[in-house]
Structure 1
Amino acid sequence: MAGNMLTALVALIHCYIVYLEMVLWDTPRGHKAFKLTPEFASASKVLAANQGLYNGFLAAGLIWGLYLGADGLQIKIFFLLCVAVAGLYGAATVGRKILFIQTVPAVLAIMALWLGL
C-alpha cells in the first residue's frame, strides 16, 4: 500500500511538472519555479513543452502501473527507475533541488514496492 501511495505521489509530481513546463513556463509562476528570466522563458518555451511531454510519459507509465495493480509491479519499477535516473541527471546538470523533487521520492517508492509495503 505504501509503495503504491508513493508511486501515486511521484505520478502527481510529474503531472504538476507537465503543467509547469507546458502551460506555465512563460508566466510569472513558471519563471519563479524554474528561476527564469522572461526573455529566456519566451525563447525556450517550445523546448520546455517538449520536456513537459516527456515528463507526461513518465506520469502515464506510473499511472498505468498503478492501474494494473499487482500485475503492474514491473511497470511501476521501470518508470520509477526512469524518474530516478532523470532526477540524477537533472541534479547534476541543472540543480540539486531536482534530486529531492524527483529522485528521492522515486527511490523511496521503489524501496517500498520492493519490500512489499
Structure 2
Amino acid sequence: MPVAASIAIAVVALIHVYIMVLEMFLWTHPAGRRAFGLTPAFAAASRVLAANQGLYNGFLAAGLLWSLLPGSPAAIAPFFLGCVIVAGVFGAATASRKILLVQAMPAAVALALWWLA
C-alpha cells in the first residue's frame, strides 16, 4: 500500500479512536459535552447510548489499523473505509452535517488514495 494511502488510513483510524474516547469516557465531562454540544442533563441521560456508539467507533478504528498491518487482506481497508463513509453520510443526514466533514470526507480521501494505488 502506498505511503499516502497508509497515512490517510491511519489519520481516519486516529479520528475514530478520538471519537471513541469522547463517547465512551468523556461524554459527561466538559470536553465531551463541548465536542458534541450537549447539556449536562442530556449527556447524563444518554451516557450509556454514547458508550455503545463509542465502542462501534473503536471497532472501525481497529479494522482500519488492522488494514495497515503487513499481510492483512487486501479488501479490509476499503471495507472499513466504506463503513466509515456510510456512517458519516447517515450521521450527516440524521444528526449533524459536521459529521460529513469530520468522518466521511477523510475516509473518502483515504479510499481514493487507496484506490489510486
Aligned residue for 2:111? Answer: 110
Query: Segments of 4+ in structure 1 off by > 3 A?
Result: none
- Aligned length, in residue pairs: 115
Aligned residue for 1:62? Answer: 64
Q: Match of 1:26, as an amino acid?
A: T
Aligned residue for 2:30? Answer: 28
Q: Distance in 2 between matches of 1:61 and 1:35?
A: 28
Aligned residue for 1:14? Answer: 16
How do residues 37-48 of structure 1 correspond to structure 2 at under 5 angstroms?
37-48=39-50
| Displacement of 1:43 | 0.5
- TM normalised by structure 1 equals 0.95
- TM normalised by structure 2 equals 0.95
Aligned residue for 2:7? Answer: 5
CA deviation string 1:79-112 (max 9, x = no partner): 0000000000000001010000000000000000
Give the RMSD, CA atoms, in angstroms.
0.9
Q: Distance in 1 between matches of 2:52 and 2:31?
A: 19
Q: Distance in 1 between matches of 2:61 and 2:7?
A: 14
| Displacement of 1:67 | 1.0
| Displacement of 1:73 | 3.1
Q: Distance in 2 between matches of 1:68 and 1:19?
A: 27
Q: Which runs of 5+ in 1 are unaligned?
A: none
Q: Which runs of 5+ in 2 are unaligned?
A: none
1:84/1:107 contact within 8 Å kept: yes
Q: Distance in 2 between matches of 1:97 and 1:108?
A: 16
